[in-house]
Amino acid sequence: MTSQHPVAPGRIVAIGGAEDRTSDLEILREVFALAPEGQDEVAVIATASGIPDEVLPDYEAAFSRLGASRVHLLGIRDRQQAAEDDTVRLIKQSGVIFFTGGDQLRLTNVLGGSPVLSAIRDRLEDGAVVAGTSAGAAAMPGTMIYNGAAADALRKGAVNMTFGLGFVDGLIIDSHFLERGRFTRLMEVGASNPEYLGVGLGEDAGVIIHPNGILEAIGPGHVVLIDSRDLASSNIADLSMGEPVAVEHMILHALVSGHGFDIEARRYLVPHELGAILAESR
């Protein structure tokens, strides 16, 4: 992945966790609406979750209500299951592939390099929508955060990162962002390499990542962006591990539903600007 924004024709939807699954289904409705014409089967992957049997039925009910013809509940607990032909076949049939929350390291550890992951990438190329919530959102970029105490993550080495699922590049995603006060995590990442946009998803909020590199905020919550491209100075390279990181000049935005952002141009899009760009690209 060398480009700075997504190139696959399918939409990616990253959700900050705790999205409504039983009432208005505002975010899940947007996810399902992005499925390609006539592809109304949904695959829900609960690999990240420690309690798949508790999580999966909610999604089955929600997507069924929204009009899915079939909802495939895929636990995928280990690498053997991530290679099963039957599971790959169900992925290939689905217009929506949805990752539940849980632990993003379990997600990458089980799915990394697997036939199931290859099949999902192929589906994305073919225009399917790939969505994930909480850990399922955090794991989407080429590089992900999997640990880091929010209390003060702005200390050298406090944030643990590794390769993600690689659906999108040029950004880093954090979830439960406002609720768990995770600003310092994205600040540390931004200080370590200012090239990548920090995307902090609040609960019951999400972003659609359009193929042209446009972010579109959805849901009742907030999407916070931390743009470090113009970082003026930081001491991070000179510090010992654990020492506090200084940061001069990062740019902070808070998007609500209907607002957008152009990743490449680093430009905030108010609703009429976002609408014009999305209409153009259709």
Residues that bind a copy of itself (CB under 8 A): 150-152, 154, 178-184, 187, 202-203, 220-222, 226, 232-233, 235, 244-257, 259, 268, 270
Residue 68 or 247: the one with the smaller Cβ distance to a copy of itself is: 247
The residue whose two tokens read 């990458």 is 108
Residue 7 or 256: the one with the smaller Cβ distance to a copy of itself is: 256
Residue 105 or 254: the one with the smaller Cβ distance to a copy of itself is: 254
Q: What is the DSSP letter of 238?
A: G
Please report how close the Cβ of residue 201 comes to a copy of itself at its closest, in angstroms.
12
- In angstroms, the CA 175 to CA 134 distance is 5
262: enclosing H helix or E strand: strand 260-262
Query: Catalytic amino acids?
Result: 134, 176, 203
Residue 98 or 177: the one with the smaller Cβ distance to a copy of itself is: 177
Please report how close the Cβ of residue 140 comes to a copy of itself at its closest, in angstroms.
23
Q: Are 142 and 168 spatial neighbours (Cβ–Cβ below 8 Å)?
A: yes
The residue whose two tokens read 């849980």 is 102
Please report how close the Cβ of residue 180 comes to a copy of itself at its closest, in angstroms.
6
Please report how close the Cβ of residue 127 comes to a copy of itself at its closest, in angstroms.
30
Q: Is 124 left (phi over 0), alpha (psi -120 to 50) or beta?
A: alpha
The residue whose two tokens read 């939807």 is 13
CA count, 13 A, side-chain hemisphere, 10:
26
